[in-house]
C-alpha cells in the first residue's frame, strides 16, 4: 500500500508541473503514468527485476475505491457550480438533448453490432449503450460548465449519470434464465431512491446552512473540511444503500451546498482532494491498456476506435444543431463527447457478470474505451480547432459569467457602504467574508455575499479577480490587509486595489505593499468634520467640496511619498475610468 501511495504521489508531483510547463493537460500524463507503472508496463518485469515492485502498481482493483471516490468528488464539484434554478433552466437540454443523444447513439451502435457481429441482441444492446456514454471525469474538467460547449456537455452527461442504474438493472433482466426479479428490483430501487432523494433535499435545506455556519465560526479549516467530507460521503452512501449510484448523492449534496453562502469555500477546500482522486482514476485507466495486445491487433482496434468516435461526434453534432446550437459549438461538443467513458467500463463489467457479453468481447471494448479516454484531451483540441474553422471565432462565455464585478473583501459596515454605492450606480459586485453571521445577515438584507477566506488559497480567483475592475479591502485588520495587498499585487500587477487604512502610517505601508489607493479612517473623519463645520458657518457648498477634494489629493500624494512611491503605476482600471 505504501509503495502504491509513493507511486501515485510521485506521479502527481512530477506529472502536473512538467505537463503544465509545456501547457499540456495532466490528464494525458496521468494515463501515461498508468501505462508505465501498470501490470502491462514495468509491472510485467517485476519478477525479473524485483526492485521495480516499489515503483509499479500491480493491483488495479486495489485502487478502484480511490478512483471511484474521485468520480464522486467530481460530481460533488459539479453540483457546487450549479444551482437548482440553473438545473431547472437546463431541463430541456438534460431530458431532451441528453435523452436523444444516449438513445440514438446506443440503439444505432447496438443495431450495427447485432448485424455486423455474431453478438446476441442483449449483448449488442449492452455494448452499444455502454459505448454511448461519455466521460464525465475527463470532459467536464476540459470544457468547464460555464461555456456553451460545457453547458451542452453537462446536460448530456447529467442524463447519462441518471441512466447508469436503470441500464445496469435492465442488463440483469436480460441475462440468460433471468426471471422477473430484475424488473421488480428496478422498480424497488426507483421508489426507494426517490424517497431518499426527497429526504436529502428537504433535510439538506435546513441542516446544511446550520452545519457549515457552526464549522465556520470555529475558524478551523480542518473542521470545515471534515464537514464537507461528511456531507458528500453521507449523501453518496445514502443513495448507494438503496441501489442508486453514489454520484447521484454527491451531485445532490453539491446542489444543496451551492444554495448556501458557503459554496465558494467548500469548492476551494475540496479542490486538492478532487484533483488527486481523479489522478488515481486516470492512472487506473492507463493501467488497463496493454500495448502489446493493441500492437498485435492494431487494425481491429484502430477501426473500432475511429468508428465509434466518428459516429458519436456526427450524431451529437447534428442533434445540437437541431436544438439550435451554433455550428462551432455543435462541432466542438460533438468531437469532445465522442470518446467512451469510465461508465462504459462499469456497464461492460455488469454485462459480463450477467453473462450477456463474453469475456473476450468485453476485454476488446474495454481496451477501445481506454484508448478513447486517453486521446480525449487531443479530441478537445481538435474540436476547438474545428469550431474556429467553422465559426471563425471561439464561442463566447455565457451571460452569467460575462459581467465583470468588483470584489469587496469584508462584509461589515464599511463593506456594506461600498456595496450600497455600487448598487446605486448599477455596478456589479460580490462581498466575501470569513464571518458566517455577517455573511448571513448581508444576504438576508439583499446584498450579494459569500463565505470565504480571501487570504487563503484561490478564493478570490474563483470569484473572478482576474477580470474584476477592482478589489476593495474594507476589513479592520491591518496586517492581513497588507499581506493581501502584497499577494494581489504580485499575482495581478494591473489590478486596481483600494484598501481601508487605520491611520496614515498604515496607509503608507499599504502603498508600499502595492495598493492603488489607501484611505485612512482618521483622514476621512477629519475631512468630513471640516466639511460639516464650514457649511454650517456659512461657506458655500461648492467651494467647500472643491477644497475638500484638493486637501484629500494633497494628503494622498503625501502618503504615496511616505510609502516610497515616486510615481504610481498606470492601472487597467484607471484606463477604464478615463474612458468612462
The verdict on residue 15 lying in a domain is no
Residue 76, pLDDT score: 83
Give the three cell numbers for residue 339. 470518446
Asked whether residue 386 falls in the same domain as residue 447, the answer is no
Burial category of 178 from C-beta neighbours within 10 Å (exposed 0-12, middle 13-18, buried 19 and up): middle
Residue at 3 is within a domain:
no
Collapse the DSSP code of 222 into the 3-class scheme (helix H, G, I; strand E, B; otherwise coil) and give the result: helix
Band of residue 14 on the pLDDT scale cut at 50, 70, 90: confident
The string of pLDDT tens digits covering residues 83-116 is 677 677 777 888 888 889 999 999 999 898 888 7
Note the pLDDT tens digit of each residue in 300-342.
889 999 999 999 999 999 998 888 888 888 888 889 888 888 7
Write out pLDDT tens, residues 396-409: 444 444 457 889 99
What per-residue confidence (pLDDT) applies to 397? Answer: 47
How many separate helices (H) and strands (E) can be counted in the chain? 27, 6
Q: Which is more confident, 347 or 549?
A: 347
Q: What is the pLDDT of residue 92?
A: 80
Residue that is last in its domain, among 391, 415, 442: 391
End residue of a domain, out of 391, 411, 428: 391
With 80 as the cut, is the pLDDT of residue 47 above it? no
Instruction: Return the pLDDT at 492.
Output: 86
Closest CA to 377 of 152, 146, 148, 140: 140
Q: Within this chain, do residues 275 and 356 fall inside the same structural domain, yes or no?
A: yes
**Contacts of residue 360, Cβ cutoff 8 Å, sequence gap at least 6:** none
Residues 371 and 407 placed together within one structural domain of the fold: no
Q: Kindly state whether residues 355 and 431 are assigned to the same domain.
A: no
**pLDDT category, 392, cuts 50, 70, 90?**
low
Residue 462 pLDDT > 90 = no
Beta bridge partners of 125: none
Report the C-alpha gap between 2 and 454 in whole angstroms: 36
Q: What one-character-per-residue DSSP string does 533-544 give?
A: HHHHTT--HHHH
Sign of the C-alpha dihedral, residues 107, 113, 118, 124?
negative
Residue bearing cell 486517453: 374
- Average pLDDT value for residue range 24-49: 78
Q: Are residues 431 and 369 in the same domain?
A: no
Distance (Å) of CA 276 to CA 12, 194, 269, 280? 7, 32, 13, 6
Domain boundary among 351, 372, 391: 391
Looking at residue 555, its pLDDT comes to 65
Report the candidate in 578, 466, 474, 453 with the shortest Cα–Cα distance to residue 521.
Answer: 474
pLDDT at 572 over 80: no
Residue 324: predicted pLDDT: 81
Percent of the chain with pLDDT over 90: 4
List pLDDT tens digits, range 491-513. 888 888 888 888 778 888 888 88
Sequential DSSP letters for 465-532: GGG-S-EEE--S-HHHHHHHHHHHHHH-TT--EEEEESSHHHHHHHHHHT-SEEEEHHHHHHHHHHHH
DSSP states of 253-288 as a string? HHHHHHTSTTHHHHHHHHHHHHHHHHHHHHHHHHHT
Alpha-carbon distance of 262 to 439, in angstroms, equals 9
**Is residue 294 located within the same domain as residue 374?**
yes
**Range from 108-112, 410-414, 571-575 carrying the lowest mean pLDDT:** 571-575
Cβ pair 264, 87 in contact under 8 A? no
Structural domain boundaries, residue 514 = 401-578
What CA–CA distance (Å, rounded) separates 543 from 523?
A: 19
5 within some domain? no
Are residue 260 and residue 376 in the same domain, yes or no?
Answer: yes
Reported as a single tens digit per residue, the pLDDT across 269-281 is: 887 777 777 777 7
Does some domain include residue 67? yes
**Is 33 part of any domain?**
no
Query: How far is C-alpha 434 from the chain's CA centre?
Result: 22
User: Worst-scoring range by mean pLDDT, 86-100, 188-202, 214-228, 523-537?
Assistant: 523-537
The average pLDDT across 455-474 equals 81
217 located within any domain: yes
382 with 407, same domain: the answer is: no
Average pLDDT of the residues in 214-218? 81
Distance of CA 141 to the CA centre of its chain: 6
Give the mean model confidence (pLDDT) for residues 174-179.
Answer: 56
Residue 50 lies in a domain: no
542 pLDDT exceeds 80? no
Residues 107 and 152 in one domain: yes
CATH, residue 92: 1.20.1530.20
- pLDDT, residue 312, reads 93
Q: Output the pLDDT for position 568.
A: 46
Q: What is the pLDDT of residue 571?
A: 42
- Find out whether 147 and 165 touch, Cβ atoms under 8 Å: no
Q: What is the pLDDT of residues 124-133, one digit of tens each?
A: 888 888 899 8
Segment 135-154, tens digit of pLDDT = 877 787 777 766 788 888 88
Same domain, 502 and 442: yes
Average pLDDT, whole number, for the chain? 78
pLDDT, tens digit, 9 for 90 and up, residues 414-438? 888 888 888 888 888 999 988 888 8
Position 391 scores a pLDDT of: 67
Q: What is the pLDDT of residues 477-490, one digit of tens each?
A: 888 888 888 888 88
Judge whether residue 579 has pLDDT over 70: no
Reference 16, options 282, 264, 266; nearest CA is: 282
Looking at the chain, the whole-number percentage of residues with pLDDT higher than 70 is: 83
Residues 376 and 405 in one domain: no
Q: Looking at residues 52-67, what average pLDDT do you find?
A: 74
Residues 232, 135: one domain?
yes
For residues 348 and 359, is the Cβ–Cβ distance under 8 A? no
Asked if residue 24 belongs to a domain, the reply is no
Q: What is the pLDDT of residue 565?
A: 55
Average pLDDT over every residue of 56-71: 74
If one counts the domains in the chain, the total is 2
d(CA 579, CA 469): 13
Kindly report the CATH number assigned to the domain that includes residue 444: 3.40.50.720
Higher pLDDT, 565 or 162: 162
Give residue 183's pLDDT.
53
CA terminus-to-terminus distance, the chain: 62
Between the CA of residue 318 and those of 96, 101, 295, 322, 328, what are the distances in Å?
14, 10, 34, 6, 12
Amino acid at each position: 500500500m505504501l509503495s502504491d501511495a509513493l507511486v501515485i504521489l510521485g506521479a502527481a508531483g512530477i506529472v502536473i508541473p512538467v505537463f503544465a510547463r509545456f501547457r499540456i493537460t495532466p490528464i494525458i500524463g496521468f494515463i501515461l503514468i498508468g501505462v508505465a507503472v501498470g501490470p502491462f508496463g514495468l509491472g510485467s518485469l517485476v519478477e525479473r527485476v524485483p526492485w521495480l515492485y516499489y515503483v509499479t502498481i500491480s493491483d488495479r482493483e486495489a485502487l478502484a475505491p480511490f478512483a471511484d471516490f474521485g468520480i464522486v468528488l467530481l460530481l460533488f464539484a459539479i453540483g457546487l457550480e450549479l444551482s437548482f434554478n440553473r438545473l431547472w433552466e437546463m431541463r430541456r437540454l438534460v431530458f431532451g438533448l441528453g435523452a436523444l443523444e444516449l438513445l440514438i447513439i446506443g440503439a444505432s451502435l447496438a443495431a450495427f453490432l447485432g448485424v455486423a457481429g455474431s453478438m446476441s441482441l442483449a449483448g449488442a444492446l449492452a455494448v452499444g449503450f455502454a459505448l454511448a456514454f461519455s466521460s464525465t471525469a475527463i470532459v467536464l474538467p476540459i470544457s468547464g460548465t460555464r461555456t456553451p460547449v460545457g453547458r451542452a456537455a453537462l446536460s448530456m452527461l447529467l442524463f447519462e449519470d441518471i441512466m447508469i442504474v436503470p441500464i445496469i438493472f435492465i442488463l440483469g433482466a436480460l441475462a440468460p434464465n433471468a426471471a422477473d426479479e430484475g424488473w421488480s428490483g428496478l422498480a424497488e430501487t426507483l421508489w426507494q431512491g426517490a424517497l431518499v432523494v426527497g429526504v436529502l433535499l428537504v433535510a439538506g435545506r435546513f441542516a446544511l446552512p446550520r452545519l457549515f455556519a457552526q464549522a465556520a465560526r470555529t475558524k478551523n479549516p480542518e473542521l470545515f473540511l471534515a464537514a464537507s467530507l461528511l456531507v458528500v460521503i453521507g449523501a453518496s452512501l445514502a443513495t448507494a444503500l438503496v441501489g442508486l449510484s453514489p454520484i447521484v448523492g454527491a451531485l445532490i449534496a453539491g446542489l444543496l451546498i451551492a444554495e448556501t453562502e458557503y459554496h465558494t469555500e467548500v469548492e476551494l477546500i475540496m479542490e486538492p482532494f478532487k484533483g488527486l482522486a481523479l489522478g488515481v482514476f486516470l492512472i487506473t485507466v492507463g493501467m488497463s491498456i496493454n500495448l502489446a495486445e493493441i500492437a498485435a491487433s492494431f487494425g481491429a482496434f484502430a477501426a473500432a476506435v475511429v468508428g465509434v468516435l466518428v459516429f458519436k461526434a456526427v450524431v451529437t453534432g447534428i442533434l445540437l444543431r437541431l436544438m439550435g446550437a451554433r455550428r462551432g459549438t455543435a462541432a466542438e461538443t460533438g468531437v469532445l463527447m465522442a470518446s467512451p467513458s469510465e461508465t462504459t467500463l462499469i456497464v461492460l463489467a455488469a454485462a459480463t457478470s450477467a453473462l450477456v457479453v463474453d469475456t473476450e468481447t468485453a476485454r476488446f471494448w474495454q481496451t477501445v474505451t481506454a484508448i478513447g479516454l486517453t486521446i480525449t484531451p487531443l479530441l478537445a483540441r481538435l474540436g476547438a480547432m474545428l469550431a474556429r474553422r467553422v465559426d471563425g471565432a471561439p464561442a463566447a462565455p455565457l451571460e452569467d459569467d460575462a459581467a465583470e464585478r468588483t470584489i469587496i473583501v469584508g462584509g461589515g459596515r464599511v463593506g456594506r457602504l461600498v456595496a450600497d454605492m455600487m448598487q446605486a450606480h448599477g455596478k456589479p459586485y460580490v462581498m466575501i467574508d470569513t464571518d458566517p453571521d455577517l455573511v448571513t445577515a448581508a444576504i438576508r438584507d439583499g446584498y450579494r455575499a459569500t463565505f470565504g477566506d480571501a487570504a487563503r488559497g484561490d478564493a478570490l480567483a474563483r470569484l473572478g479577480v482576474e477580470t474584476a475592475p477592482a478589489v476593495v479591502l474594507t476589513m479592520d485588520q491591518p496586517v492581513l490587509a497588507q499581506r493581501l495587498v502584497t499577494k494581489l499585487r504580485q499575482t495581478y500587477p494591473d489590478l486596481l486595489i483600494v484598501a481601508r487604512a487605520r491611520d496614515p502610517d498604515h496607509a503608507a505601508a499599504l502603498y508600499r505593499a502595492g495598493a492603488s489607493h489607501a484611505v485612512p479612517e482618521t483622514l476621512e473623519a477629519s475631512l468630513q468634520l471640516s466639511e460639516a463645520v464650514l457649511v454650517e458657518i456659512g461657506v458655500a457648498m461648492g467651494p467647500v467640496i472643491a477644497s475638500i477634494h484638493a486637501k484629500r489629493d494633497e494628503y494622498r500624494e503625501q502618503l504615496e511619498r511616505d510609502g516610497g512611491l515616486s510615481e504610481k503605476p498606470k492601472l487597467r482600471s484607471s484606463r477604464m475610468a478615463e474612458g468612462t
